[in-house]
């Protein structure tokens, strides 16, 4: 497998990184914004993210049963990883976490071919405080899944890693903001 990181960093810099004054989901102000949907929904970007995340997952040894995360941000990441795994004949499935349980049907918050007791990896695009991915972890655990780790595309180095550690979880990312010469805010 080729090294995905140089090409991913180039594409992130060209397509996703914007400079200016922004308000983040946490309410904090920032001098830059990362719109990773411009990467996860890009043909080259989707492949690079899938390559990188699948390689991180495989480094841990045995494959988990599935990968997934909070809808809508994690959905294209999940789909790309599952597709690449399928092309490599790896039995890695995907799942999605709704922001809240459905009000009809089975009323589930976690959707997909997963069952309680299975080990999973939660994926996310941008890690800031970790709030969105931690919500996904909570939903997975409430469903009965065992979350092995969280993998993000990029870490803003704004407390997310520490928030996961406080919950006994490991955060791994494909890159962080210092890869762009930006100091954590």
Q: How confident is the model over 48-57, as pLDDT tens digits?
A: 999 999 999 9
Residue at 137 is within a domain: yes
Q: Is 160 annotated as a binding residue?
A: no
What average pLDDT does the chain have? Answer: 93
Distance CA 40, CA 16 (A): 10
Q: Is 104 annotated as a binding residue?
A: yes
Q: Is 2 annotated as a binding residue?
A: no
Residue at 165 is within a domain: yes
Q: Is 35 annotated as a binding residue?
A: no
Tens digit of each residue's pLDDT (9 = 90 or more) over 117-155: 999 999 999 998 899 999 999 999 999 999 999 999 999
Residue at 89 is within a domain: yes
Can you give the pLDDT at residue 1?
Answer: 45
Reduce the DSSP state of residue 148 to 3 states and report it: strand
Q: Is 40 annotated as a binding residue?
A: no
Q: Is 19 annotated as a binding residue?
A: no
Tens digit of each residue's pLDDT (9 = 90 or more) over 80-123: 999 999 999 999 999 999 987 666 566 689 999 999 999 999 99
Q: Is 57 annotated as a binding residue?
A: no
Residue at 185 is within a domain: no
Residue at 44 is within a domain: yes
Can you give the pLDDT at residue 28?
Answer: 80
In CATH, what number is assigned to the domain containing residue 128?
3.40.50.2020
Can you give the pLDDT at residue 123?
Answer: 98
Average pLDDT, stretch 20-44? 90
Distance CA 15, CA 38 (A): 6
Q: Is 37 annotated as a binding residue?
A: no
Which helix (H) or strand (E) element contains residue 142? helix 131-143
Residue at 159 is within a domain: yes
Average pLDDT, stretch 161-165? 96
Residue 12 is classified by DSSP as I
pLDDT of 38 over the 70 cut: yes
Structural domains counted in the chain: 1
Q: Which residues constitute the domain of residue 138?
A: 5-180
Q: Is 124 annotated as a binding residue?
A: yes
Residue at 28 is within a domain: yes
Confidence of residue 61 (pLDDT cuts 50, 70, 90): confident
Residue at 120 is within a domain: yes
Q: Is 129 annotated as a binding residue?
A: yes
């Amino acid at each position: 497998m080729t090294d995905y990181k140089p090409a991913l960093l180039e594409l992130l810099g060209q397509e996703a990184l914007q400079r200016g004054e922004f308000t983040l989901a946490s309410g904090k102000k920032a001098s830059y914004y990362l719109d990773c949907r411009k990467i996860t929904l890009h043909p080259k970007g989707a492949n690079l993210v899938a390559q990188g995340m699948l390689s991180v997952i495989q480094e841990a040894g045995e494959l988990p049963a599935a990968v997934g995360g909070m809808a809508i941000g994690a959905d294209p990441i999940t789909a790309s990883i599952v597709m690449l795994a399928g092309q490599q004949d790896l039995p890695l499935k995907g799942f999605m976490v709704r922001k809240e349980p459905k009000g009809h049907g089975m009323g589930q918050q976690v959707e997909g071919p997963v069952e309680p007791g299975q080990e999973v990896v939660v994926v996310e695009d941008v890690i800031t405080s970790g709030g969105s991915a931690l919500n996904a972890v909570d939903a997975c655990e409430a469903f009965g899944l065992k979350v092995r780790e969280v993998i993000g595309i990029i870490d803003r180095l704004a407390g997310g890693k520490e928030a996961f550690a406080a919950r006994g979880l490991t955060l791994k990312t494909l890159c962080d903001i210092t890869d762009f010469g930006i100091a954590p805010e």
